Amino acid sequence: MNQPWKIDIVVDLKDFTISKKFINLVLQSAFLESKNRVKIPKKARNLSILFTDDKRIKELNKIYRDKDYATDVLSFSQIEGENLENSSELGDIVISIQMAKLQASKFGNTFKQEILRLLIHGILHLFGFDHENVPEKDAKEMESLEDKLFNDLQKNVDRAINC
């Protein structure tokens, strides 16, 4: 990697913080696992992450995906289409804290583990992975990579997130 990652974090809610160092670890781990599978421009090193509530993510989901409901994570990749080699923007991720709390027990995770799972999922989408409207083998590849990263990184999550 030629340049460091520049990560902007915005948290809309009180009583939640996440370490930028931890996000960098997740991003770097995903990058190293993905670099032979997807093409990520060398200059694309800027990432923003918004941690918000269901109301805000529902609004964004309606505006950008025409889906009128809250979701757990949204990813807006900036490395698709023309001129992607010149872009310094990797993209944006939006994570619903409320949805993470709701889903944690559903998936057998702690709240902090669920935040990690959603962060990994969002980053993989930014890198070009998909699980919707793709062949099953591509969806399985994303799921497998997500599981590997989650298992590798979850030991660090308790120190990285405060809530």
Per-residue model confidence as pLDDT tens digits over 93-151:
999 999 999 999 898 999 999 999 999 999 999 988 888 877 788 889 889 999 999 99
Give a yes or no: residue 153 inside a domain: yes
Confidence of residue 11 (pLDDT cuts 50, 70, 90): very high
pLDDT at 49 over 60: yes
What's the whole-number mean pLDDT along residues 33-43? 78
Give a yes or no: residue 12 inside a domain: yes
- The parent domain of residue 149 ranges over 6-158
pLDDT at 44: 82
> For the stretch 75-94, what's the b/e string if a residue is b when 16 or more beta carbons lie within 10 angstroms of its beta carbon?
bbbbbeeeebeebebbbbbb
Give a yes or no: residue 1 inside a domain: no
Which residues, 6+ apart, have CB-to-CB distance to 153 below 8 Å?
Answer: 25, 26, 29, 116, 120
Give a yes or no: residue 163 inside a domain: no
Q: Which residue has the higher pLDDT, 14 or 71?
A: 71
pLDDT at 83: 55
Give a yes or no: residue 14 inside a domain: yes
Counted domains in the chain: 1
CATH number at residue 97: 3.40.390.30
